[in-house]
A and B are shown apart, each in its own frame.
Chain A
Amino acid sequence: GAVVSQHPSWVICKSGTSVKIECRSLDFQATTMFWYRQFPKQSLMLMATSNEGSKATYEQGVEKDKFLINHASLTLSTLTVTSAHPEDSSFYICSARDSGTSTDTQYFGPGTRLTVL
């Protein structure tokens, strides 16, 4: 089946630094990828839609200058948390839609645990 990977799986950083998270579709092409954030004991909240070759679309309340998204190829989207603060600590999950099929199936990555000290 389709596989989505994320790197790193966990990261700890100091407040004020920037952190980049990668999301890759390993065996399919994805013109569209999605970034979610999940706080402990809560559900996944959609942050933004990442479109290959164009600007990302952010959900209401998500700061686009803080959460930079780049989707430079059909298999890679990156999320950069700029000037991270402790409140940005969360579990970040990406998903990708297979461009080669007509179905709406999304494949989820394993998530990245970000801890900001």
Chain B
Amino acid sequence: TQLLEQSPQFLSIQEGENLTVYCNSSSVFSSLQWYRQEPGEGPVLLVTVVTGGEVKKLKRLTFQFGDARKDSSLHITAAQPGDTGLYLCAVFPRQAGTALIFGKGTTLSVSS
């Protein structure tokens, strides 16, 4: 059983469109992170959400943590080709100091 369910798995859109990626779980987490990874590189941290209902914005990216801290979403407004990449949500499911566990990821392709 996958701890984090991400959807959609693949997304191909045109420049200027909006999109939302979802990360869901049946477990409650103290925090949740979103990463972006480009081919051949390590993942880069975009944001950490901590409080239930929290909304964080990073330019055209809006991240929301569910009220119950079981799910999160990433919304991109007016997508650009530079947004292309693999988007991953991740949590620390075990005690502090242990490894991040990742969702299956969403591969986004934005064409001009």
Q: Does A75 contact B (CB under 8 A)?
A: no
Q: Does B82 contact A (CB under 8 A)?
A: no
Chain B interface: which size bin? 20 to 34
- Pick from B40, B103, B107 the residue with the most CB of A within 10 Å: B40
Interface residues of B in 26-56 (CB under 8 A from A): 31, 40-45
Q: Does A12 contact B (CB under 8 A)?
A: no
Given A43-B104, A44-B88: A113 and B98 within 8 A (CB)?
no
Q: Tell me the complex Cα distance, A34–B9, Å.
A: 25
The B interface is mostly helix, strand or loop, or mixed, namely: loop
Q: Are B42 and A111 in contact (CB under 8 A)?
A: yes
Q: Tell me the complex Cα distance, A97–B45, Å.
A: 14
Q: Are B42 and A93 in contact (CB under 8 A)?
A: yes
B residues near A, CB below 8 A? 31, 40-45, 86, 88, 92, 96-105, 107
A residues near B, CB below 8 A? 4, 32, 34, 41-46, 49, 91, 93, 95, 97, 104-106, 108-111, 113
